[in-house]
């Protein structure tokens, strides 16, 4: 027999960036697999781009997309927000509450625990997506967040990590997980592996992402200045994305005399943006498993990226091509090499793409996460005894990640 369809609710604070793309992809894949799925997110975050994405996705989900005010930091008003969320989620009668990011994880686990106290068998899942794991454990803010994470382990039935790096960061900064945990890479749809060629008027370099220092737009702008000063070249660049720090980056461009070479384009879908650049630059200071790197590699676009988070896991045997984060000189050197040898960059883009196709698959992502729900709920064992389903998706206990998860074969491909 097969497991019964589940009622799944994903909770996240801000419906922006790669984390929300992950949630929408997962929710739609779970819907295709026959489950009833919904999303709950903040009503104050995002802009027109995100509103359009929500409008497209909501009608496809049986449990819809509901938006409530959620603050990024911990506030007294969280109590009222939790009550409103609780009433909405209770009416949905979920089997699984899957919290994404630090704040989504809090809401999912607290509300799930309240529902369990009233007799509901709700499975509480948490995926950090980087989130609070980016904090420094030596600083007060980091110590507070990690203490809260440790407390919440008692309200967590299973953990999902989007990279081996994220699992290791959780184990080092928070604690060794006391519940089942699984590394599941972000996945792409088959059509995303079609190559995109640059338009004739494409910029030399392209940045796509949220405009905040964590993603490194300031480092890119500084590197562009140094390309002019140290290398004697003045390439063009297009910066795609939105964020509160955009005015500061625009001032940097003006102050450095780059206004005639650097343009800002606002938020644009990644694959639409790719045709507008010849080489993508991802100068992030920190990441978990960035979609922009996956999407760039899948589209066979030349790429310069930093050695952060799960990016080395994407590059696999080519991880030595990554550069150190927060180093504008290293970034300028890499950009100068790419500018002078575009054919070499395109050749490397073809090689890197071959490492990606099978491992980073959206249906595999959904299967591995959903099978974890079923295993935790006691349904995975019934499937195993019946000889179907979970036998092809190994359950990874804490401490076994390095041996069992995402291993590389002797040919250099990731498995």
* 314, pLDDT greater than 60: yes
pTM for the full model?
Answer: 0.86
Q: Could you tell me which of 11, 61, 74, 1 has the C-alpha nearest to residue 33?
A: 61
pLDDT value at 393 more than 60:
no
Residue 163's SS3 state is: coil
Are 61 and 208 contained in the same domain? no
Give the range of the structural domain holding residue 228, as residue numbers without chain letter. Answer: 191-354
C-alpha–C-alpha distance, residues 273 and 260, integer Å: 20
pLDDT tens, position by position, 221-255: 999 999 999 999 999 999 999 999 999 999 999 99
Is the domain of 223 the same as that of 314? yes
CA distances, 55 to each of 22, 24, 362 (Å):
16, 12, 21
The token pair that represents 287 in the structure block: 């990441």
Q: Is residue 410 part of a domain?
A: no
pLDDT at 384 over 60: no
**What is the distance between the alpha carbons of residues 121 and 372, in angstroms, rounded to a whole number?**
16
pLDDT at 81: 82
Number of domains in the chain: 2
Task: State the average pLDDT over residues 99-117.
Answer: 96
The HSE-up count of residue 52 (CA atoms within 13 Å, CB side) is: 5
Pairing of strands 280-282, 262-266: unpaired
Token readout for 294 is 């996956």
pLDDT, residue 328, reads 98
Structural domain includes residue 415: no
The Cα–Cα gap between 230 and 373 comes to 54
Looking at residue 2, its pLDDT comes to 53
The C-alpha atoms of residue 393 and residue 367 are separated, in whole angstroms, by 8
- Give the pLDDT score at 409: 30
313 pLDDT more than 60: yes
The SS3 assignment for 232 reads: coil
User: What is the domain-level CATH number for residue 112?
Assistant: 3.40.50.2000
415 pLDDT above the threshold of 80: no
Mean of all residue pLDDT scores within the chain: 90
Whether 48 shows a pLDDT value over 80: the answer reads yes
Quick check: 399 pLDDT over 70? Answer: no
Q: What is the pLDDT of residues 137-153, one digit of tens each?
A: 999 989 998 999 999 99
The answer, yes or no, to whether residue 403 has pLDDT greater than 50, is: no
Task: Note whether 348 and 216 are same-domain residues.
Answer: yes
**How far is the first Cα of the chain from the last one, in angstroms, to the nearest whole number?**
29
| Share of residues in the chain with pLDDT > 90 (%) | 83
27 and 103 housed in the same domain: yes
């Amino acid at each position: 027999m097969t497991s019964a369809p589940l009622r799944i609710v994903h909770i996240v604070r801000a419906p922006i960036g790669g984390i929300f793309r992950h949630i929408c992809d997962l929710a739609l894949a779970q819907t295709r697999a026959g489950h009833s799925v919904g999303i709950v997110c903040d009503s104050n975050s995002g802009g027109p781009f995100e509103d359009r994405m929500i409008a497209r996705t909501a009608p496809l989900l049986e449990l819809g997309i509901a938006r409530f005010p959620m603050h990024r930091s911990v506030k007294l008003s969280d109590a009222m927000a939790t009550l409103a969320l609780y009433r909405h989620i209770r009416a949905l009668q979920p089997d699984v509450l899957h919290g994404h990011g630090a704040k989504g994880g809090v809401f999912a686990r607290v509300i799930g625990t309240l529902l369990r106290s009233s007799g509901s068998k709700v499975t509480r899942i948490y995926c950090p997506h980087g989130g609070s794991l980016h904090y420094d454990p030596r600083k007060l803010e980091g110590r507070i967040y990690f203490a809260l994470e440790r407390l919440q382990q008692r309200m967590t039935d299973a953990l999902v990590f989007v990279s081996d790096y994220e699992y290791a960061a959780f184990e080092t900064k928070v604690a060794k997980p006391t519940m089942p945990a699984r590394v599941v890479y972000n996945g792409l749809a088959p059509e995303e592996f079609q190559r995109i060629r640059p338009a004739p008027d494409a910029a030399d370099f392209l940045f796509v992402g949220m405009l905040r220092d964590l993603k490194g737009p300031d480092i890119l702008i500084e590197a562009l200045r140094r390309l002019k000063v140290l290398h004697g070249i003045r390439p063009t660049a297009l910066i795609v994305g939105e964020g509160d720090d955009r005015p500061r980056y625009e001032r940097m461009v003006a102050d450095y005399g780059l206004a005639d070479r650097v343009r800002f384009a606002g938020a644009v879908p990644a694959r639409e943006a790719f045709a507008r650049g010849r080489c993508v630059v991802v100068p992030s200071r920190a990441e978990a498993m960035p979609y922009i790197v996956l999407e760039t590699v899948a589209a066979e676009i030349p790429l310069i990226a930093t050695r952060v988070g799960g990016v080395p896991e994407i590059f696999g045997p080519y991880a030595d091509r990554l550069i150190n984060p927060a180093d504008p000189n290293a970034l300028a050197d890499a950009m100068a090499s790419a500018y002078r040898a575009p054919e070499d960059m395109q050749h490397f883009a073809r090689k890197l793409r071959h490492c990606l196709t099978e491992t980073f698959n959206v249906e595999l992502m959904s299967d591995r996460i959903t099978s974890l729900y079923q295993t935790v709920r006691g349904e995975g064992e019934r499937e195993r005894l019946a000889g179907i389903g979970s036998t092809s998706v190994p359950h990874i206990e804490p401490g076994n990640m390095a041996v069992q998860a995402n291993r590389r074969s002797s040919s250099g491909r990731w498995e």
